[in-house]
């Protein structure tokens, strides 16, 4: 009423319309626990447009609005954040008596200390009980054992593995020697076969005595590359192009002679 009278006397629009909220022990306990955990004090509890809120005050005399809800299932549910009230003016008569709040704070502190005391006593008793149990453990510590040294040559398993390893090494050496021998023999056989093939190719080229050295030059230059069939085919094609005789059994004992297929055909006619 005093706030409303003050607003009506000064005129203007009020910041918010406030109505007193019925505060029971459970709501007060929840609000006080929330405010004290964040170093705030409760200035008042209000309701606006069905929204309950509390005005909290910090050590710098700044005021903040905390919206909250209360129901039987969830209990006290505060909003996630506070909203600073920059134009809030506290009432001349405080909503809560400072003496009553101080008495309540003292009772909460005393109750907290009384609850912590049994826990401290229990912890001290545990320390007293545990301390003697640790002393015999220290006395019963056995001396550190000296490391045991082993001689590998005296272990049967090691001797057997070493023997198997040496045998495998010997087999590898023998196989490598056999591979080297076979490789050498293969090279010799390959060279021998190549010599035979080359000789056969040279004899085949010499059979084409009716061709000039220029005609046979390509085959001679690639004698190791061309096969016998390749050489025969190439030289035969050259003979056809040059229109020479295919009689390969007569050696060229005289001067090279060139025959004309046209003359042979006319004679037969």
Q: Quick check: is 122 in a domain? A: no
Q: Quick check: is 126 in a domain? A: no
Q: Quick check: is 110 in a domain? A: no
* pLDDT of the residue at 72: 76
Does position 100 have pLDDT exceeding 90, yes or no?
no
Q: Quick check: is 21 in a domain? A: yes
Q: Quick check: is 146 in a domain? A: no
Q: Quick check: is 119 in a domain? A: no
Average pLDDT, the chain: 78
Last residue of a domain, one of 94, 110, 141: 94
The 10s digit of each residue's pLDDT in 125-182 is 665 545 455 555 555 666 777 777 778 888 888 898 989 999 999 999 999 999 999 9
Does position 18 have pLDDT exceeding 50, yes or no?
no
Domain boundaries, position 56? 2-94
Q: Quick check: is 149 in a domain? A: no
The 10s digit of each residue's pLDDT in 193-202 is 889 999 999 9
Tokens of 140: 């019963």
* 244-249 contacts at long range (C-beta below 8 A, 24 or more positions apart): 244/210, 244/211, 245/210, 248/207, 248/208
Question: How many whole angstroms separate alpha carbon 269 and alpha carbon 267?
Answer: 5
Q: Quick check: is 211 in a domain? A: yes
Residues with Cβ within 8 Å of 185's Cβ and at least 6 positions away in sequence, in order, are none
Question: Which residue would you say has higher pLDDT here, 13 or 229?
Answer: 229
Question: Which residue would you say has higher pLDDT here, 140 or 41?
Answer: 41
Last residue of a domain, one of 94, 109, 126: 94
Question: How many whole angstroms separate alpha carbon 218 and alpha carbon 223?
Answer: 8
Pick from 84, 72, 92, 75: which is nearest to 34 by CA?
A: 75
Does position 20 have pLDDT exceeding 50, yes or no?
no
Domain count, the chain: 2
Is residue 64 very low, low, confident or very high in pLDDT (cuts 50, 70, 90)? very high
Last residue of a domain, one of 63, 94, 125: 94
* pLDDT of the residue at 264: 46
């Amino acid at each position: 009423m005093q706030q409303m009278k003050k607003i009506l006397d000064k005129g203007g629009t009020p910041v918010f319309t406030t109505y007193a909220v019925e505060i029971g022990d459970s709501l007060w306990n929840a609000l006080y626990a929330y405010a004290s955990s964040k170093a705030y004090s409760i200035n008042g509890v209000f309701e606006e447009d069905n929204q309950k809120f509390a005005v909290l005050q910090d050590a710098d005399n700044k005021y903040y609005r905390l919206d909250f809800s209360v129901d039987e299932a969830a209990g006290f549910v505060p909003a996630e954040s506070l909203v600073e009230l920059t134009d809030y003016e506290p009432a001349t008569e405080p909503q809560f008596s400072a003496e009553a709040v101080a008495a309540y704070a003292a009772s909460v502190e005393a109750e907290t200390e009384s609850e912590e005391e049994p826990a401290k006593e229990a912890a001290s008793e545990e320390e007293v009980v545990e301390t003697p149990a640790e002393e015999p453990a220290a006395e019963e510590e056995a001396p550190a054992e000296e490391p045991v040294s082993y001689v590998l040559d005296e272990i049967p398993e090691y001797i057997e593995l070493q023997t198997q390893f040496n045998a495998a090494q010997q087999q590898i050496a023998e196989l490598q020697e056999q591979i080297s021998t076979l490789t050498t023999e293969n090279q010799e056989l390959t060279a021998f076969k190549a010599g035979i093939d080359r000789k056969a190719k040279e004899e085949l080229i010499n059979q084409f005595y009716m061709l000039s050295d220029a005609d046979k030059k390509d085959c001679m230059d690639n004698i190791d590359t061309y096969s016998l069939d390749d050489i025969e085919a190439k030289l035969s094609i050259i003979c056809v192009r040059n229109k020479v005789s295919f009689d390969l059994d007569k050696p060229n004992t005289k001067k090279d002679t060139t025959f004309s297929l046209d003359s042979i055909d006319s004679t037969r006619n």
